[in-house]
Structure 1
Amino acid sequence: MDTLKIVVTGDTHMPMRGKKLPSKLIESLSNADLILHVGDWSTIEVYDELTRYAPVEGVVGNVDQEEIQKRFAQKKIITLDKVRIGLTHGHGKGKTTEKRAIDMFKDDAVDIVTFGHSHIPVLHHYNDLITFNPGSPTDKRRQNQYSFGIIQISETVAIQHVYYDTKE
């Protein structure tokens, strides 16, 4: 079985937080099989640009323009080679962003919950569930570095963050 390479990003907030996709992200996009965006694209142009590299799946975030709100739902589940991945942005009231994201899929059998909103990179394992926040490629807020994620699916699933210092 070939390895599927999925680039996970979100909280791009373009063009407010970045005028273009960072070169480190583009490097990984150039050989991606699929791109997942966990919301807060800001404009539809981010979606259009990502589709130049690979098919794109995503969800709406809390700052997204109407065109994105019409195109994407708050929640999506995709199945890749028997691995079920849930996507949500994670915004809302009460609890932590991660807990809200987990709760979004409490009635669904998913293996991985991907989410955004906090801009904080997360990779946690809870029994049979993995939670993953890629961080932000353009708006690191209080984080030391910008980031996005890569999920590789073959006989096993490998998930990692890619960190970098400049959004150029």
Structure 2
Amino acid sequence: MSDSHGKANLLKQIVQKVKADHVIHCGDFCTSADQLPDVSMTVVQGNCDWEDAPKESVWETGGIRFYVTHGHRYQVKTSLLPIRYRAEEVDAHIACFGHSHFPVCEQANGRLFINPGSIAYPRGFRVPSYAVLETDCTGTVHVTYYTTNGKIIGERGGSYVLF
């Protein structure tokens, strides 16, 4: 998820509901670090965060390498090309980012780019959103987008072959 902008209680509710093995927050959490859910979590600093957190992170599980950043340093509001180059540099299968508050899920040059949208303040999209990624042993990932009240957003996500 991304861009929770101080809505720590909503963030915790979603994490408790989803019960993910690992949570990725793409920045702009805008709370103190001790208000983040106490779960296995990768968190990066967004342009509105004051807490010390990495500006980017690489996380790997099950042979899938994730690159996580907020996105403001890569101009994600105008093009995915800069973040695509960075994902290639760190040899990531999946790049997760936020900043635009607009949900994106697209594959380019064999890499998957996921922006879960904003759980607090969507822009250019009708509802707040987050994404759930599920993996299988075949190198395929399944991405499903949800509203903050748990309803599936059918026009986003899908299944993608990584390798």
- How does the TM-score come out when normalised to structure 1? 0.76
Q: Residues 19 and 50 from structure 1, CA distance in 2 versus in 1: closer, same or farther, beyond 3 angstroms?
A: closer
Work out whether 1:85 is the aligned partner of 2:69: no
The residue type paired with residue 84 of structure 2 is I
Alignment match of 1:20 (pick from 9, 12, 18): 9
Q: Of 5, 9, 24, which aligns to 1:36?
A: 24
Q: Mark the CA change 1:125 to 1:94 in structure 2 (over 3 Å): closer, same or farther.
A: closer
User: Which amino acid in 2 is paired with 1:11?
Assistant: D
Distance 2:16 2:75 in 1: 37
CA-CA distance at 1:126 after TM superposition: 1.0
* Contact 2:97-2:114 within 8 A present in 1 as well: yes
Q: Deviations over 1:101-127 (max 9, x none)?
A: 323323111110000000000000113
In structure 2, the residue matched to 1:158 is 142
- Alignment partner of 1:74 is 2:55: yes
Residue 97 of structure 1 and its aligned partner are, at CA, apart by 5.6
Residue segments in structure 2 that go unaligned for 5+ positions in a row? 151-163
Residue 99 (1) aligns with residue 81 (2): yes
Deviations 1:60-105 (A, max 9, x none): 100101xx2x2x2111111110000110001037562633332332
- After superposing on structure 2, the runs of 4+ consecutive aligned residues of structure 1 that deviate more than 3 Å are 26-29, 92-95, 97-100
How many angstroms does 1:23 deviate by? 8.2
Structure 1 residues 57 and 162, CA gap change in structure 2 (3 angstroms): same
Q: Residue in 2 aligned with 1:6?
A: none
Task: Tell me the secondary structure at the aligned position of residue 50 of structure 1.
Answer: coil
Q: Quote how far apart the aligned CAs of 1:165 are.
A: 6.9
Query: Partner of 2:130: helix, strand, or coil?
Result: strand
Structure 1 partner of 2:49: 64
Over the aligned positions, Cα root-mean-square deviation in angstroms equals 2.4
Identity among equivalent pairs (%): 24
Q: Report the 3-state secondary structure (helix = DSSP H, G, I; strand = E; otherwise coil) of the residue aligned with 1:105.
A: helix
Equivalent-residue separation in structure 1 for 2:110 and 2:58 (angstroms) = 16
Code of the aligned partner of 2:69: T
TM-score, with normalisation over the residues of structure 2?
A: 0.78
